[in-house]
Amino acid sequence: MRLACCQHAVDATPDENVECALAAIAEAADAGADLVCLPEIFNVGYFAFDAYEQEAESLAGPTLARVADAAREHDVGVLAGSIVEDLAASARDGFDTPSEAGLANTSVFFDRAGERRAVYRKHHLFGYESKEAELLVPGESLGLTEFEGFTVGMTTCYDLRFPELYRELVDAGATLILVPSAWPYPRVDHWRLLPRARAVENQLFVATCNGSGRFGETELCGRSAVYDPWGEVLAETDEGPAVVTADVDPERVSEVREEFPALGDRR
From residue 115, alpha-carbon distances to 15, 91, 93, 112 in Å are 23, 19, 16, 7
132 is catalytic: no
Catalytic residue among 37, 157, 209, 221: 157
User: What backbone phi and psi angles, to 5 degrees, belong to 66?
Assistant: -70, -35
Task: Work out whether the CA dihedral 155, 159, 160, 162 comes out positive or negative.
Answer: negative
Give 158-167 contacts, CB < 8 A, sequence gap 24+.
Answer: 158/122, 158/124, 158/125, 158/126, 159/122, 159/123, 159/124, 160/194, 160/195, 160/198, 160/208, 161/124, 161/194, 162/123, 162/124, 163/197, 163/198, 163/201, 165/123, 165/124, 166/198, 166/201, 166/202, 167/202
Which is the catalytic residue, given 27, 122, 209, 221?
Answer: 122
Is residue 122 part of the annotated active site? The answer reads yes
186 preceded by cis ω (within 30°)?
A: yes
115 annotated active-site: no
Residues paired with residue 136 on neighbouring β-strands, in sequence order:
103
Active-site choice (5, 20, 40, 57): 40
CA atoms of 33 and 137, how far apart (whole Å): 33
Active site residues: 40, 122, 157
